[in-house]
Amino acid sequence: MTEIDLIQLNFSPTSLLVLNVILGIVMFGVALDMKIDDFRRLFDLPRSALVGLTSQFLILPAITFLLVTIVRPHPSIALGMMLVAACPGGNISNFFTYMARGNAALSVSLSAISTAFAVFMTPLNFAFWGSRYEPTRVLLQSVSIHPLDMLTTIFLLLGLPMALGLWVSHRFPTVAERFKKPMKYFSMAFFLVFVLGALAANFDYFLEFVGIVALVVFLHNALAILIGYTGALGARLPEADRRAVAIEVGIQNSGLGLILIFDFFSGLGGMAIVTAWWGIWHIISGMTLAWFWSRKAPAVVDAVSA
């Protein structure tokens, strides 16, 4: 193993506990903007939903594994890539899809269902693909992580707050309407502060190793977007749906990934740096792609293929 595989980023247990609680609050706030209809809507768009979820939870982790075997990054970086690929879509994908003139309703629905599925799909994908590659299997064995432990943590971080938020949204729609917008700003601010705080506390490590992860993250993120778009194109989805799926697959919940790294891997250097840089880069790539697409309305003729 190299130095990046051995370093551990500094993050106090108290800070980590606070971050776990805040992420739960953020997920609760995100769920305030969801409705049961967001889940039901997927039955009205079965092909788009199937393409989006298949790209997110099956194709992206598999292609990530393939990328790792070709590029052969440091083991901890490879494990970080696999964890990012196993995470659900990030909620800022909805904003980017709207900006890109994509199918925002589909984006919201995919975010909702992928977050719900992540409770069991994230630990399952991470354990499965991490154990298929010898260098990452060694790392997994060294910490003796069990998928059930990660499932429980993800349920507490995502599943339970999401269920409570959906209940409040359904039972008290006026309250949900009042708080959902401030919670959106809070969630974006929290994510940026979290990533920047993690980097600031370990800035020397970040400066030393960011060059190693930058190209890998660029390739990984570009592949994720390409997987979403080409999968939707191959399924002959309308252009607005293609944009929604591409952005959904390209924007991952790296905040969840970082917390899992600090929870289960004690801030393992390569994992944390690649995930933190993912969190920064996918905002840049998402904004750029959304701006590019915003300049061209989806072709109306595409809708007939739906």
d(CA 271, CA 259): 11
Token code pair at residue 278: 């993912």
Domain ranges in the chain are 3-305
Q: Supply the pLDDT for residue 105.
A: 80
More confident residue, 151 or 78: 78
Domain 3-305: CATH class, spelled out: mainly alpha
Backbone angles phi, psi at 8, to 5 degrees: -125, 130
Kindly tell me if the per-residue pLDDT of 129 is higher than 90. yes
pTM for this entry: 0.81
Of the ranges 129-133, 151-155, 279-283, which is most confident? 129-133
Contact 117, 88 (CB under 8 A): yes
The token pair that represents 304 in the structure block: 């007939």
pLDDT of residue 144: 61
Q: Tell me: the pLDDT tens digits for 206-261? A: 667 777 888 899 999 999 999 999 999 999 999 999 999 999 999 998 878 888 88
Lowest mean pLDDT among 55-59, 168-172, 215-219, 239-243: 168-172
Token readout for 194 is 């979290």
Residues 217, 278 contacting (CB under 8 angstroms): yes
